[in-house]
Amino acid sequence: MRRQDVLKKSSLKDLTSFFHIKSDLSNLFIKVKNLLVAFILITLLTQCNSKEKNIQGLWRTDSMTNYVNGVSFTNNTMDEHWSYFEYKPDGSVFERRGKEFRKSYYKLTGTDSLAYSDSTGYVLNQYQVLHLDKKILVLKKSQKPYLAGKNQELYEIRYFSKIAADSLLALQKK
């Protein structure tokens, strides 16, 4: 065999071996990519489920901050006008204020939105969920401007903390 033929055969073997390795690496990357996508989907679905579980329970209003065009005011003086919100697993929410209560329905939509609706499904209020865990809930509601004109920013932020259901009973007896 001539030297050129030997070189061609060895180059051909090297080239075939190279493409085989490249094909194996390509398959490995596809498998890793599919595994990563599955992990991300499972994580996102778990987080949505945990948000729904975290919101269930009884929440006390701790404070409210109103922001109007650069000026803010925080009210953290608890009085009889402050509400307690009890989120039930069936999607209903009871707003309690003193001995009065109002029933509506809630739905966590998207990753950061909370909507309240009446029994017909008509949306009453929508909030942006700024924070939600097992102990703290922070909601933001954008508001319409008071005056005509551009560049106005108005919103309210409500801060809540989760309390035990028997705490509300004790407060109502006072």
pLDDT of residue 52: 80
Residue 61 to residue 69: CA distance in whole angstroms: 24
Mean pLDDT is lowest, of 20-24, 60-64, 128-132, for 20-24
Residue 37 pLDDT grade (very low, low, confident, very high; cuts 50, 70, 90): low
Residue 55 to residue 47: CA distance in whole angstroms: 12
The reported pTM is 0.66
Domain ranges of the chain: 1-55, 56-173
Q: Where are the beta strands (DSSP E) in the chain?
A: 57-68, 71-75, 84-87, 92-97, 100-109, 113-117, 123-132, 136-142, 154-163
Overall average pLDDT of the 35-63 stretch = 69
pLDDT of residue 88: 94
Cβ-based burial of 150 (10 A; exposed 0-12, middle 13-18, buried ≥19) = exposed
What six digits make up the tokens of 100? 């009065």
> Which one-letter DSSP state was computed for residue 121?
-
How confident is the model over 89-105, as pLDDT tens digits?
999 999 988 788 899 99
Give the best-scoring range by mean pLDDT among 2-6, 59-63, 94-98: 59-63
Please name which of 51, 62, 55 lies closest in space to residue 159, comparing C-alpha atoms. Answer: 62
How confident is the model over 102-135, as pLDDT tens digits?
999 999 988 899 999 999 999 999 999 999 999 9
- Contact between residue 60 and residue 163 where contact means Cβ atoms under 8 Å apart: yes
pLDDT of residue 42: 52
Residue 158 has pLDDT above 50, yes or no: yes
Please name which of 61, 93, 53 lies closest in space to residue 162, comparing C-alpha atoms. Answer: 61
pLDDT of residue 53: 82
pLDDT of residue 7: 46
Give the best-scoring range by mean pLDDT among 13-27, 29-43, 53-67: 53-67
How confident is the model over 72-91, as pLDDT tens digits?
888 888 777 688 999 999 99
For residues 26 and 93, which has the higher predicted lDDT (pLDDT)? 93
Q: Which CATH number fits domain 56-173: 2.40.160, 3.40.50, 1.10.1660, 2.40.128?
A: 2.40.128
Residue 134 to residue 119: CA distance in whole angstroms: 27
